[in-house]
Structure 1
Amino acid sequence: MRVPVPPSDPVEHSAAQLRLLGAALKRRADEVLELTVTRTSGPDHEVDAVVQDSFERISRSSTIAVARWMAGEGLEVAREAGQETWEIFGELAAHRAASLNEVTRRCLCWRDSMAEILAAAGAELTVSADTLSESLNILQLSLEFSLVRMCECFELERQRTDEELKRREDELAFLATHDPLTGLPNRTLILDRVEQMLARSRRNQTPVAALFIDIDNFKGINDTLGHTVGDELLRAVSARLEGVVRDVDALGRLGGDEFVVISEDLSLDAGPELIAERLLSALHHPFNLGSDQQIRVSITASVGIAIADGISAEEILRDADIAMYRAKWDGKDRYAVFETGMQHAMQHDMELEMDLREALEKDEFFLVYQPTFDLGDMSPTGLEALIRWKHPTRGEVQPDDFIPMLEQTGLINDIGKWVLDQACAQAAAWRDLGYPIEIAVNVSGRQLDSDQVIEDIQGALAASTLDPGALTIEITETTLMRNIEETALRLAEVKELGVGIAIDDFGTGYSSLAHLQRFPVDALKIDRSFISGLSHNQEGETLLRTLVQLGKALSIKTFAEGIEAQRELSLLKDERCDSGQGFLFARPLGVEATQAFLANWAASLPVVSLD
């Protein structure tokens, strides 16, 4: 049935027909969608369900926008109605869900479907050819608007992609030459800058120095406070160092807790040693870390200095690294300047460390036992366990040649535990044979830095069933004064186990009467340097008398080390020193020789019950 169109002004008549056509198109929007879907089906147009849904939304939105334009609501209303279409274009571009070619083809299929539906609706409404032509013009304009908008969306996404690629390329280029944690130049960039400085140095005859900085005991901080705090500390250290180096110098992070400063020309006028002192001083101030700045960390560092002298960038960094290890070996919190012989010493130390790491597994360590005596009646009182190392090529290595390396590397903790286990087991075995001996074992400062030493002592006593009263641990006076508060607490725990405590090498440290009273000490072992001085001057006797009297004033037993001459023994007895040991009585003995010594001792004693 045809819908009659009332006669009117031609322009008004055309506009009225166009409104009727727009209303018809709005009612037949689903037909447009179905026809568009049909036209875009097939293997050449396959997309996933989400993308297909986006295209269907585009079809509906665009159809409604054209219909409202035809209905006389105006171009702006049509654009507003088509906003969803443009947003969907943006989504497709951003997610790279469909290619520009595929979106264009579907837009053209939608236009063709719209034209077909408009022609059918126009025929039903008997609209004029001019009206139908105008509707197709509106459709084409709408398509062009959409295609322009679609191209803008895809172009914008291309620009974003290019910017992101450029940003990532810049980031990769930065990471290739910079440390990602601190933002400082890494080894690659530092080597390049050193080469540039060396080239200038050769041209201008000016000095270049490398200062290799390594945080002391950083691993302990990491293990105790966690890697997050450790990373924060490294960033804080880098900021602190940046604050004291000149702009013309190069600061970098080589990895881990290792930093380097390369200085040249004017900054070396006062010498690299002053630069090192400035770096060390900057790190002495505590760091406040953590989200609430409540974690207070104090650190020190070791600095190695190398001066360029016709060497390459790699070589100057190597020499500074070697000097840094020398600074650590000399006690840390200091700097050392590279010298030619250091490389050989460094190689020696590395080989020594590697051999020590294998020695425990290969059963190369063994204990010897040196008897101790009561100086009153000259009766034996016990044994001191002393570690020895028998290496297949080095031969028998004395403690002074490897104990410092054990301390420096931390291997002393595992080997110290082994000594405790072996000494307690052997002492228990001898006591089971009827020899009423006590055993003394040296405990290092590194062992006392951790509560693990308490567990190690408990474990050795439990495994051996040795009476705790038969064990004495010996610590040096210097160790005692390293961390007074923590050491006092740990020694109190040791004392609660029933174990005795002796201060070794007494008189060589800086302890005072007030300090000694804080520790649960049972004996003072007077250092052998005081004993050997007895034969040479009156001052030696005075010092000895003072140390013995100090022990008596504190109700602590006194013990003399290194007695080698009869005169030394006579003077010690005159001063009423309680006990002693030394080559005058017996050298350190192996297990069999010790057992023979104990048998001879037992033969001269009455039967003693250990129960």
Structure 2
Amino acid sequence: MKNRILFVDDDKFILDTFRRTFRDLDITLCDSPIKALEMMREEAFDVVVSDYKMPKMDGVEFIRRAAETNPNSVRIMLTGNADLDIAVRAVNEGSVFKFLQKPCDRNILRKTVEQAMEKFNSEKELRDASEENYYKATHDSLTGLANRFMLQEKAGDYIDNWNRYQKRFALFYMDLDKFKPINDTYGHHIGDEVLKEVAARLLKTVRATDTVARLGGDEFVILAENVKTEEEAGALAKKIITAVTCPIYTNNDLALEVGISIGISIYPEHAEQYKLLLEEADACVYKSKEKGGSAFTVGGCRQEPQ
């Protein structure tokens, strides 16, 4: 994909020069800094080249706003004014990559724009790699759900919300019933299909602001915001059980059924630390399994150390 380049200059002749010099690239020409900012709010540009002296808004102010609107863009300023103060302002306020004096040789301008594209592409590779590594470190590779590391991070955010706004939340610890026989009978590939379908159903059952995580194996956790009472927690647990226990149809037309045992703890009633909240809900899972599975238990299950 070609880099997107925006040229901003109120001189029609200069814009025509840009058009001829960069006709092989993906360029957009604009004769107004105000219009250019409107365009940048609609779509991102990789490289922005701007004149300094323009009506209604000078180039330094435009570049500053462009940096706020498209922070990843690489910015170049052109000016016929050799004032050093302008160059300093452009660099300090708009993080300008290069500052070129007009009239600028077309070959020098071309080379500078190519260097700007190389800089953008190099930085984009680093950003993409960083985002990919972060995703891999915080998400379950099979289901795409949050993993235990992301879950702990989200729990910290939820606790912060309690400290600031007194917004309660509930932790649902879930363990599938009748999953092991499916894995043993049909193999791990079928078991993986079941786990991915359960993950999809859990996501559909909760709100977008809630967090769904897989801890490993057939264990899942939900952090549900604004669950204030045991009754509200129970209502959500019933929805989860209904969603998960419907038959799951695999790619080879098997109709499989699993159950789900749920343990629930509410913050801060059942624990004021994430680790203890998780342990409380985990202990309640066993109470739910003792009821025969596809059941839920809310709080009061963890034995305090003697």
Q: TM-score range by the shorter chain?
A: 0.5 to 0.7
1:303 paired with 2:230, answer: no
Counterpart pick for 1:189 among 146, 150, 168: 150
Secondary structure at 2:249 match in 1: strand
1:274 paired with 2:235, answer: yes
1:265 aligns with 226
Secondary structure at 1:243 match in 2: helix
TM-score normalised according to structure 2 size: 0.56
CA shift, 1:330, in A, is: 2.6
1:469 aligns with none
CA distance in 2, matches of 1:316, 1:277: 21
TM-score normalised according to structure 1 size: 0.29
1:343 paired with 2:303, answer: yes
CA distance in 1, matches of 2:209, 2:222: 11
Contact kept? 1:246, 1:267, Cα under 8 Å:
no
1:215 paired with 2:162, answer: no
Larger Cα-atom Rg: 1
Matches within 5 A, 1:395-544: none
CA distance in 2, matches of 1:338, 1:269: 9
Seen in structure 2, the aligned counterparts of structure 1 residues 225 and 163 have a Cα distance that, compared at 3 Å, is farther
CA shift, 1:216, in A, is: 1.0
2:287 aligns with 326
CA shift, 1:286, in A, is: 0.6
Seen in structure 2, the aligned counterparts of structure 1 residues 169 and 199 have a Cα distance that, compared at 3 Å, is closer
Matches within 5 A, 1:200-211: 200-211=161-172
Q: Percent identity?
A: 33
Secondary structure at 1:271 match in 2: helix
Contact kept? 2:175, 2:218, Cα under 8 Å:
yes
CA shift, 1:170, in A, is: 1.4
CA distance in 1, matches of 2:250, 2:228: 32
2:185 aligns with 224
Matches within 5 A, 1:108-257: 163-257=124-218
- Higher relative contact order structure (alpha carbons within 8 Å, sequence separation ≥ 6): 2
Contact kept? 2:213, 2:220, Cα under 8 Å:
yes
Seen in structure 2, the aligned counterparts of structure 1 residues 266 and 321 have a Cα distance that, compared at 3 Å, is closer
Seen in structure 2, the aligned counterparts of structure 1 residues 230 and 155 have a Cα distance that, compared at 3 Å, is farther
Q: Is the strand fraction higher in 1 or 2?
A: 2
Contact kept? 1:195, 1:312, Cα under 8 Å:
no
Contact kept? 1:280, 1:300, Cα under 8 Å:
yes
CA distance in 2, matches of 1:181, 1:307: 28
CA shift, 1:267, in A, is: 7.2
Secondary structure at 1:343 match in 2: coil
1:314 paired with 2:275, answer: yes
Over aligned residues, Cα RMSD in angstroms?
Answer: 2.9
CA distance in 2, matches of 1:206, 1:162: 39
Secondary structure at 2:303 match in 1: helix
Seen in structure 2, the aligned counterparts of structure 1 residues 173 and 333 have a Cα distance that, compared at 3 Å, is same
Seen in structure 2, the aligned counterparts of structure 1 residues 200 and 164 have a Cα distance that, compared at 3 Å, is closer
CA shift, 1:300, in A, is: 0.5
Q: Is the helix fraction higher in 1 or 2?
A: 1
> For residue 303 of structure 2, what is the amino acid of its counterpart?
Q
1:289 paired with 2:250, answer: yes
CA shift, 1:206, in A, is: 3.7
CA shift, 1:165, in A, is: 4.5
